[in-house]
Amino acid sequence: MTTAGRGYALALWPHGTRVLHSVGVHDQLVERSLTTRRYTARSGSGALLTTAGPPPAIERHGHWGIVPRADLVELLGAARADVERRDGRVVALEEHRAGAVALLDDGTTLEGDLLVGADGVGSAVRTGLLGPQARHDTGWSCATWWIDSADHPAALGETVEFWGAGTFIGAYPLPRTRLPHRRRSLVGRARPPRPGAGCVVPSAEPDCPPTACCPPPSAELTLWPMTDVRSDRWIGDRVALLGDAATAFLPTAGMGASMALESAAALADELSRCDAAQVPNALRLYERWRRSRVERAQRQSRMLARALFTSSHLCARLRNGLVARAPAGLLLGPLLRDLEEPV
């Protein structure tokens, strides 16, 4: 979900935001994000299905909000100003008894005790370690674009989604940005490919609210295939996979970034209790510690995607009827249970 390499926005749950206390940027993150004050689901025609503010359990554990991706990257970079930074992409890697070697696409060779692949869903580190990994494909794609907050189809701080048949629209408000200095919302519209069409083309349809389904004429659209990846394993002797490189997420539950931050904290904790010779054991413990929790969250996002991404009008009516009759907090149940478990 990127444009010019900077990205759009990330939903962050307390699973991830509380990790930022450890690197001293939690308060800055809260300042740069917009707290999620309400979640609302509507049918494709706009009828209310469910609406609720954050459950008390969320506030008890930490901050829940949406942040521009570029701001989070900037904050994490500033937290460790002593870290050497290089541009480049890993094109080959090699493990040996005492460390790992990575070759970048600019010809640079880097060597160290450990190589951590946190290079996203298309991870070159993962491919170098494991070979190609199968992708889970929903068959849907999502077009994303910005709108001014004045056109956001809900109150400030309220995430709203429209659950139709053969279409899904989500509108996600962001805080006031610095450049340009205004409030904006991110809109994503997902649907399956149409016969003869090569990609998703947003357009007005009878069952879609017009303020949310059509991008402004000047909008820069980004097409995002709704796929994820689950790696066969997360580690080698001197290589570790992290975040989407290890287990990539569909955006349906908004949990990918939070799981990545949790995993980064777990990996850092294991490495803080070893020396260079004990890195392979630290990596084994890291995978045992994190993999089941992350894959469980991934299963939840896949289950939600199966419910959201349906072209059947009958299935959509049944889904929407169940959601309208269920307790407002039911959708958050699995995520809240994870917050109560030790990490």
Q: Which of 176-190, 233-247, 253-267, 320-334 has the lowest mean pLDDT?
A: 176-190
Per-residue model confidence as pLDDT tens digits over 301-320: 999 999 999 999 999 999 99
Within a domain: 154:
yes
Question: What's residue 58's pLDDT?
Answer: 86
Tokens for 151, please give them. 């056109």
How far apart are the C-alpha atoms of 17 and 61, rounded to whole Å?
9
Model's pTM, two decimal places? 0.90
Host domain of residue 115: 86-133+230-303
Per-residue model confidence as pLDDT tens digits over 37-73: 999 999 998 999 999 998 888 888 999 999 999 999 9
Q: Report the amino acid identity of residue 74.
A: E
What total number of domains does the chain contain?
Answer: 2
Our CA dihedral for 39, 44, 45, 51, rounded to 10 degrees, sits at -20
pLDDT band at 19 (very low <50, low <70, confident <90, very high): very high
Within a domain: 167:
yes
**299 and 160 in one domain?**
no
Within a domain: 277:
yes
- Cα–Cα distances (Å) from 257 to 52, 168, 342, in that order, read 23, 22, 19
Within a domain: 156:
yes
- Rounded to 10°, the helix 256-271/279-308 angle is 170
Within a domain: 3:
no
Which CATH number belongs to the domain containing residue 242 in this structure?
A: 3.50.50.60
Q: Which residue has the higher pLDDT, 179 or 157?
A: 157
Question: What's residue 215's pLDDT?
Answer: 75
**329 and 273 in one domain?**
no
| Average pLDDT over the chain, rounded to an integer | 87
Q: Where are the beta strands (DSSP E) in the chain?
A: 9-12, 34-35, 38-43, 48-52, 65-68, 90-96, 99-104, 109-112, 115-117, 135-148, 158-163, 168-173, 184-191, 222-229, 239-241
Q: Are 259 and 118 in contact (CB under 8 A)?
A: no
pLDDT at 235 over 90: yes
Per-residue model confidence as pLDDT tens digits over 78-127: 888 777 878 889 999 999 989 999 999 999 999 999 999 999 999 999 99
Cα-based angle 93, 98, 101 (whole degrees, multiple of 5): 20
Using DSSP, state whether 31 is helix, strand or coil. helix
**234 and 224 in one domain?**
no
Which CATH number belongs to the domain containing residue 68 in this structure?
A: 3.30.9.30
**144 and 220 in one domain?**
yes
**290 and 200 in one domain?**
no
Q: Which of 19-33, 77-91, 204-218, 238-252 has the lowest mean pLDDT?
A: 204-218
**202 and 220 in one domain?**
yes
**160 and 127 in one domain?**
no
